[in-house]
Structure 1
């Protein structure tokens, strides 16, 4: 097996009489890589970890440094990273499937070009705060960091005028799908009939939205490619996160159960909440120094619950283990499988329902979906790996 194959989640689905009758997920095949961290200098490890784990890089930095220093700067960078990803997601994965209009095509459509400009603006702000990618200069040396929310004006204006069609606070108070406006209303109108409700797990894990929270680390049962919490397979990610605070998400979930569409709306709810909650900062930072001891640290990243368990002794890392969101989502018998089994498929060779369902459970890696009909493979789709 090549490294390329290891970095892919394999999902085999079997279609019969117009619906998926069974599925098999490979799980996260890249486990145990943290052994390479042993012996690394704990005081400079923050420079290494985002380069190794570039997906959700700021989340990994945050979770590593959280037990040791004030995290206000990293929280801001992490929030911006999440906003950037959630903003791009529907325009990269949903609109191109649902709307046959060049304006909404990916990546050449005018809508995605606008999103790309806003994404560039977010990255400029992150660079101003933390230096060039991976944005960790403030941990290396003393630095005065000032952030004024006015710097997000272009980002907020785009979100309100085009994505939401209303201001952020009004959107956060929306409780019915019929109240939605802007591109989000269009997404619902085009997607609500094409996607089914009620497929997926009913057990969720949220370790803190997005920064502060608690959970029982002892309830995690890690078997490598299979991981459970409290003896159950769980879904992590935007839907789980939004269920902690949003009335629209809770109402439709309680009435209809989980759905790909509800997960996508949850992404935008989280984006809006983060933009609403972001605070201005004026802070001096200094050289990062790690404490000695064993630490369990966690946060809600773009894709869900992220957990680091590590130990530092004599200024060196002597133990490290990471449970990524993908490890939960892609567990055999877990969220990915449960979300697709029973799903109606109109055309197994062009399974739009499957593509949107898998992208709604966005993993840290590309998901390679192999579609079988009458036990013969009819198509293979590569989903994810962009945002």
Structure 2
């Protein structure tokens, strides 16, 4: 097996009579890499973590440092990382599939070029806060960190004028799809049938920050490597689970229709807008990172959902480390990915747009290689995800 194979989730899908009749997911094959942290200096592991775990680097950093230091700076970096990914997601994975218009193409279309410029602005703000990637300067020693909401103007302006077609405040109060505007309205118009798919798990997990009203107990997790469950059930994590904790539109349509790719994508934007609305001016002096011996369990909601670190420090060194990534939940055999595609109506096995939207809406940390079979015969292979 090559490193290339390790960096993907395999999902085999069999179609018969125009719908998916079975699916088999490989699970997250990238487990146990954190054993490489054993013996490392715990005081400087924050330098290594975001480089190794680049997909959600600031979320991993936040979870590691949270038990040991004030986190307002790391929280801000984590928010910006999530906003950046969620804002790009529909322009990378949805519009190119559902709209036959060059300006919505990926990656050369006018719309994606605009969102890329805003993404660059986000990265400039992150560099101002934490230095060049992986943005950890403030943990190395005292640093004055100042940021104002005004510096987010380019980001909020793009959201309001292009993506939402309304103010951030108005969007957070929208309760019906008919009220949507901007590119989101177009996405709904082109994808509304997906609300009727109603396939997927009904078990969701949200571990907490930056979302409230959640009850989570790490003792209920059963980790069997490729399979991870919570309270004896496979769970879906990510934007839909997160938005169900706070958003009236998402709750209403979920209760009426159940889960769908479109509702996950709307949830992703709801989460991004909620987080940017909660960013306030920051003026703080950081301190050099310090850490103590002990056993720690730390967790947070990252771009793709629930992220959990369990680690032990002895004599200032890492003596044990385990990470459960969102992908480990999502890609568990008999879990969220399989459940979301079984039963899906497919118009064309050779060009299964419905599969592309469903798989990208669950958004694993790695590329998902979908092998599409029709009546047990391989028809096509799609590589989905891995960009945002």
Gaps of 5+ in 2: none
Report what 1:248 is aligned to.
Answer: 249
* Alpha-carbon shift at residue 227 of structure 1 (Å): 0.3
Deviations, residues 151-192 of structure 1 (Å, cap 9, x unaligned): 000110110111001000110000000000000000000111
SS in 1 for 2:21: strand
- Mapping of residues 263-278 of structure 1, within 5 Å: 263-278=264-279
Q: What number of residue pairs does the alignment pair up?
A: 387
SS in 1 for 2:380: strand
Report what 1:135 is aligned to.
Answer: 135
Report what 1:151 is aligned to.
Answer: 151
Tell whether the 8 Å contact from 1:162 to 1:182 is kept in structure 2 after alignment.
Answer: yes
d(CA) in 2 for partners of 1:244 and 1:209?
11
Deviations, residues 122-157 of structure 1 (Å, cap 9, x unaligned): 000000000000000000111000011100001101
SS in 2 for 1:11: strand
TM-score (norm 2): 0.99
Tell whether the 8 Å contact from 2:195 to 2:257 is kept in structure 1 after alignment.
Answer: no
Report what 1:283 is aligned to.
Answer: 284
Tell whether the 8 Å contact from 1:209 to 1:241 is kept in structure 2 after alignment.
Answer: no
CA RMSD of aligned residues (A): 0.9
Report what 2:320 is aligned to.
Answer: 319
d(CA) in 1 for partners of 2:151 and 2:26?
43
Deviations, residues 324-349 of structure 1 (Å, cap 9, x unaligned): 00000000000000000000000000
Report what 1:166 is aligned to.
Answer: 166
d(CA) in 1 for partners of 2:195 and 2:278?
31
Report what 2:16 is aligned to.
Answer: 16
Tell me which stretches of 4 or more aligned residues in structure 1 moved more than 6 Å. Answer: none
SS in 2 for 1:92: helix
Report what 1:301 is aligned to.
Answer: 302
d(CA) in 2 for partners of 1:334 and 1:79?
28
d(CA) in 1 for partners of 2:322 and 2:209?
22
Tell whether the 8 Å contact from 1:195 to 1:353 is kept in structure 2 after alignment.
Answer: no
* Alpha-carbon shift at residue 209 of structure 1 (Å): 3.8
* Alpha-carbon shift at residue 197 of structure 1 (Å): 2.7
d(CA) in 2 for partners of 1:208 and 1:196?
30
d(CA) in 2 for partners of 1:69 and 1:319?
20
d(CA) in 1 for partners of 2:211 and 2:71?
10
Report what 1:354 is aligned to.
Answer: 355
Report what 2:198 is aligned to.
Answer: 198
d(CA) in 2 for partners of 1:206 and 1:12?
28
SS in 1 for 2:166: coil
d(CA) in 2 for partners of 1:55 and 1:235?
19
Deviations, residues 39-96 of structure 1 (Å, cap 9, x unaligned): 0000000000011110100000000000000000000000000000000000000000
d(CA) in 1 for partners of 2:206 and 2:41?
31
* Alpha-carbon shift at residue 194 of structure 1 (Å): 5.4
* Alpha-carbon shift at residue 224 of structure 1 (Å): 0.3
Tell whether the 8 Å contact from 2:199 to 2:340 is kept in structure 1 after alignment.
Answer: yes
* Alpha-carbon shift at residue 193 of structure 1 (Å): 2.5
d(CA) in 2 for partners of 1:314 and 1:196?
56
**Does the alignment pair 1:108 with 2:108?**
yes
Gaps of 5+ in 1: none
d(CA) in 1 for partners of 2:360 and 2:196?
14
The 1:211/1:51 distance shift into structure 2, 3 A limit, reads farther
d(CA) in 2 for partners of 1:37 and 1:193?
46
Tell whether the 8 Å contact from 2:195 to 2:263 is kept in structure 1 after alignment.
Answer: no
SS in 2 for 1:192: helix
The 1:350/1:194 distance shift into structure 2, 3 A limit, reads farther
Report what 2:336 is aligned to.
Answer: 335
TM-score (norm 1): 0.99
Tell whether the 8 Å contact from 1:103 to 1:111 is kept in structure 2 after alignment.
Answer: yes
